[in-house]
Amino acid sequence: MITSPGNPKIKNVLLLQSKSKARREQDAFVVEGIRMFLEAPISRIREVYISESFSVSDAAAKKIDECKAAGAYAETVSSEVFKKLSDTVTPQGILCVMRAFHYEPSDLLDGEAPLLLIAEDIQDPGNLGTMIRTGEGAGISGIVMTSDTVDIYNPKVIRATMGSIYRVPFLVTKDLPTFVKTLKGRGITTYAAHLAGTKTYDVCDFTRGSAFLIGNEGNGLKKETADAADTYMKIPMEGGVESLNAAIASAVLLYEAARQRRQT
């Protein structure tokens, strides 16, 4: 049992929890909680840490044995050490270090009528994580993010995805307008969610290849990005509301696309 927070492995987990640079350099990230552990692909699990107070279910015990058999490091830690490791107020008692995912454009763009979510400079981890989770529920082909978007492996993003991080392909781009032009070349229609939109989302046809551009929480889409899209589109508002939260706006658009596609 590891009982010291000064243990090198414990110090490294804390580093991965707090620093995006460390996550990039080690090509790794941390997930926490029983559900996240049970859903994690075994081939991606590098290390498993279990609190001494964790009540190990049959399913968890079986998964831990499978991880060890696959070459993962697994160790019990004291309750005090686990509290330091945990990024949550009420730790569930298990976390693991995962190997990062990597995707190619073909993973998102191949297939019939891709449905994409494009996030420009989203800063709130809860928003990005919710967008990924909602996207999986609506059947997206993947999510594309700008390099100035919050790190997808931020612990708060991971927690908000509720496991969707394992299944939704993603790409990061430094040049979003150029990427949008690439989508046009693939026959994918791009829609900028924008207050200046003349079309409302419910009159657009999303049954063919479609991509929704969602801008930064405070500033919206950059003009260059919005102008690169095929269509400025808006979600109509009542009362004094000017716009919706980025994650909520994404949900409205994605589920309209899902509804249309179910009816074709």
- The predicted-structure confidence for 58-114, as pLDDT tens digits, reads as follows 999 999 999 999 999 999 999 999 999 998 888 999 999 999 999 999 999 998 999
Same domain, 89 and 139: no
The tens digit of pLDDT for each residue in 1-20 reads 999 999 999 999 999 999 99
Mean pLDDT of 127-141: 98
pLDDT at 196: 81
Same domain, 133 and 157: yes
192-194-197-200 Cα dihedral, nearest 10 degrees: 80
pLDDT at 195: 79
Distances (CA, A) of 94 to 55, 74, 81, 166: 10, 11, 12, 17
Same domain, 51 and 161: no
pLDDT at 194: 85
**CATH code of residue 93:** 3.30.1330.30
Cα distance between residue 249 and residue 138, in whole Å? 13
pLDDT at 143: 98
pLDDT at 3: 95
Same domain, 184 and 152: yes
Same domain, 208 and 169: yes
Token code pair at residue 147: 């390099």
Token code pair at residue 159: 């927690």
- Ordered strands of the 210-214 beta sheet: 170-173, 142-146, 115-119, 210-214, 189-193, 231-234, 199-200
Distances (CA, A) of 235 to 8, 78, 112, 119, 189: 51, 51, 26, 17, 17
Contacts of 90 (CB under 8 A, 6+ apart): none
Looking at the predicted structure, is the pLDDT value of residue 186 above 90? Answer: yes
Nearest-5° angle of CA 129, CA 134, CA 138? 150
Looking at the predicted structure, is the pLDDT value of residue 197 above 90? Answer: no
8 A C-beta contact, residue 66 and residue 37: no
**CATH code of residue 119:** 3.40.1280.10
Same domain, 183 and 224: yes
Question: 47, 80, 99 — which closes off a domain?
Answer: 99
Identity of the amino acid at 142: G
Looking at the predicted structure, is the pLDDT value of residue 198 above 90? Answer: no
pTM flag (> 0.85): yes
Cα distance between residue 32 and residue 129, in whole Å? 14
Cα distance between residue 111 and residue 215, in whole Å? 26
Same domain, 38 and 141: no
pLDDT at 89: 86
Contacts of 21 (CB under 8 A, 6+ apart): none
Question: 99, 118, 152 — which closes off a domain?
Answer: 99
8 A C-beta contact, residue 134 and residue 122: no
Q: How many domains does the chain have?
A: 2
Same domain, 206 and 247: yes
Range of the domain at 115: 105-262
